[in-house]
Amino acid sequence: MELNAIDQIRRFQEFIDGSYYNSLLDNARKGHKFLLIDFADLSKYDPDLAGELLEMPEETIKAIEKSIEQFDIDGLTNFKIRFHNLPQSQHIMIRDIRSKHLNKLFYVDGIIKRKSDVRPQVTSARFECPVCGNIMNVLQLEGTFREPTRCGCGRKGKFVMLDKEMVDAQGIVIEEAHENLEGGEQPKRINVLLTDDLVSPLSEKRTSPGSKVEVIGIVKEVPIISKSGAKSTKLDLMVDANYVQPTEDTFYEVEISEEEEKEIIEIANDPKGYDKLVNSMAPSIYGYEKIKEALLLQLMGGVRKVRSDKIVSRGDMHILLVGDPGAGKSALLKRITHIAPKGRYVSGKGISGAGITAAVVRDEFLGGWALEAGAMVLSSDGLVCVDELDKMSSDDRAAMHEALENQTVSISKANIQATLIARTTVLAAANPKFGRFDPYGIIADQIDLPPTLINRFDLIFPIKDLPEDARDERMAKHILTLHQRPDVNEPEIRTELLRKFVAYARQKIVPKLTDGALEEIKEFYLKMRKSGGGEGGIKTIPISARQLEALVRLSEASAKSRLDDRVTRKDAKKAIELLDYCLMQVGFDKETGKIDIDRIATGITASSRSHILILKDIIGELESKHGKAIPIEEVVTEAKNKGLDEDKVEEAVERLKRAGDIYEPRRGFVSRI
């Protein structure tokens, strides 16, 4: 049954008088020009009105806005009505929007991909006829500005514009959330137009790229103007937003039923529960128990702490796998993206710095510049797997530095200055410098990544593919059996439940360090630092404060995997064991027989640093004897007297040349700069 406008206005007045009068007064007093109405209240009060609203939203919303003007309250002109809590039947996926949905009220949800600047837009303009003084009001509903064509007195064209009404408008682009897609579908996008109070500074925070939102609005068509200026028969779609509300913009939104919760608690209480979890990480990939354990802890994550001075300790752990080709790194990464509730997979050459952090692009929708979020911002509170990290260009890799440590992405380009949140866990994989590890070389020298980037990773695992009879036989049998019977290696815990387990642990468990765990970590740290004092004044730095934080994060993650809110000694030992394993693999310096974190952190070992310092002293002494140009032979002889090998001297001279401390004025001579 259709209601006429006067009926609608009367009924809305009664409804607002009964249920929302106080809110209306409140908003008018605060200067807010809108009233938020729960759709459920309206449909309880008057189902006919609610039905009209869904079928003919434009006319109905205008009627409500008219009904509000009837109240005798100051400041009620241009008052907007916003609706939320629409029924589930009005929910629509962006990919399913069709022409039958035009001009009806629906809600879509997704991630904000892009956001343009706020610009004024004309909604209506008043014109006066210079001949008869007639005043015409022209609504500006299309993209182009319209003037009246003729007046009642017969005059055509050349009318005087008296005034125009404007609203603030902003365009955002919404993309479907990855969780709602099956398989590797391309997520679809739609433009959304926000006007009036939806672009106030208050709501600006809610609509930054990367946040998840639910948009309630009217689906409208937009004419496409071809290059020749003619209208095309094809039309574009957009949503004229009525209300935008942020849904939980973290990956903690995975819903867990009571039965699943029981199963999860059962796994946590099972003495073999932890092993089951580790074995379920990637059952089709043979071996790599330590790596699988680390990946489980990475999914659990540590605890993010914000101190009173606003300094934040991140809870996310970053892991780097460096390994020989064909060792199953990519398969591990792909598997983890399936388990992580908000996992994204990006790979080597296909990554640009803007694509992984954020980009500023020209906005077609409203003109100007718009901010578009990249992979790390979009999967904030999720996990990004970066494959082929070594194939990325160095500029693009540099873009990741800030996101890895501070977990933000700062952009200052064109007229946009913004800091986006990127609380993302990163799992990266790379190949060694020459494609494959040299089993006799030093691993740290073969990782072809800048030390500043490597230093941001909590754990680094080298994966070597060395022939070994017994292991090779087991591996061949495992792979061939998989080909023969693909489902033979079902995970002990099914993927869906494993995913819920991780989500449950991250939602509910916030473990605190016990004194025992604290003592354990402190002892290990101090023991490692003491072991650094080497002979002959070479002090290796075996472990730094960064590793200390990594230990805390690993211990907290271990407690989460048991669903325990206390970090015990046992957890600390597990973390120490993992870190020690990584340090022995990557940071062991054969010359001093000690672990040297500088191998990874700065690319220069403590022993070679001490050689450089000795050499600098020698060159300084010889300069007073020989003047500016010093023969290299003398430098070598002097260094031999101080116990340095010739090849060590050559290496140190090369490093000094590269650093720009010395140069070669002519062959066989060096000079200080």
pLDDT at position 566 over 60 = yes
The residues with which 542 forms a beta bridge, in sequence order, are: none
The pLDDT of 539-561, averaged and rounded, is 81
Tokens of 325: 């080709």
Tokens of 433: 């410098």
Yes or no: say if 365 and 171 are a contact pair by the CB < 8 Å rule. yes
Residues contacting 390, CB < 8 A, separation 6+: 348, 430, 431, 448, 449
Written out in words, the top-level CATH class of the domain with range 258-600 is alpha beta
The reply to whether 90-249 and 604-672 are identical in fold is no
Yes or no: say if 400 and 354 are a contact pair by the CB < 8 Å rule. no
Mean pLDDT lowest for which of 196-200, 277-281, 326-330, 467-471?
196-200
The pLDDT of 533-541, averaged and rounded, is 51
pLDDT at position 183 over 60 = no
CA distance 210 to 373: 6
pLDDT tens-digit map of 127-139 = 888 888 888 888 7
346: closest CA among 424, 290, 419? 424
One-letter amino acid at 513 equals L
pLDDT at 601: 58
pLDDT at position 179 over 60 = yes
pLDDT at position 540 over 80 = no
Q: What is the mean pLDDT of the chain?
A: 79
Share of the chain above pLDDT 70, in %: 87
370: closest CA among 114, 168, 113? 114
Yes or no: say if 327 and 463 are a contact pair by the CB < 8 Å rule. yes
pLDDT-derived band of residue 535, with 50, 70 and 90 as boundaries? very low
Yes or no: say if 37 and 29 are a contact pair by the CB < 8 Å rule. no
Among 228-237, 482-491, 545-554, top mean pLDDT goes to 545-554
Share of the chain above pLDDT 90, in %: 0
Yes or no: say if 638 and 615 are a contact pair by the CB < 8 Å rule. no
The phi, psi pair for 132, rounded to 5°, reads -105, -5
Q: How would DSSP label each residue in 550-599?
A: HHHHHHHHHHHHTT-SEE-HHHHHHHHHHHHHHHHHHSEETTTTEE-THH
pLDDT at 589: 59
pLDDT at 1: 45
The pLDDT of 478-491, averaged and rounded, is 79
pLDDT tens-digit map of 30-62 = 777 788 888 888 888 888 888 888 888 888 888
CA distance 175 to 311: 33
The residues with which 241 forms a beta bridge, in sequence order, are: 217
Tokens of 207: 């609509």
Mean pLDDT lowest for which of 31-40, 336-345, 363-372?
363-372
The phi, psi pair for 602, rounded to 5°, reads -125, -10
Greater pLDDT, 336 or 253: 336
| 8-state DSSP, 20 | I
The pLDDT of 64-77, averaged and rounded, is 75
Q: Is 629 left (phi over 0), alpha (psi -120 to 50) or beta?
A: beta
| 8-state DSSP, 533 | B
Tokens of 531: 């072991």
pLDDT-derived band of residue 286, with 50, 70 and 90 as boundaries? confident
Domain ranges of the chain: 5-85, 90-249, 258-600, 604-672
5-85 carries CATH number 3.40.50.10800 = no
pLDDT at 54: 86
pLDDT-derived band of residue 180, with 50, 70 and 90 as boundaries? low
604-672 carries CATH number 3.50.50.60 = no
pLDDT at position 253 over 60 = no
pLDDT tens-digit map of 643-658 = 777 777 777 788 788 7
The phi, psi pair for 520, rounded to 5°, reads -60, -50
pLDDT-derived band of residue 315, with 50, 70 and 90 as boundaries? confident
| 8-state DSSP, 200 | S
The phi, psi pair for 460, rounded to 5°, reads -125, 120
pLDDT at 598: 62
Domain 90-249: homologous superfamily in CATH: Nucleic acid-binding proteins (2.40.50.140)
**pTM recorded for the entire structure:** 0.68
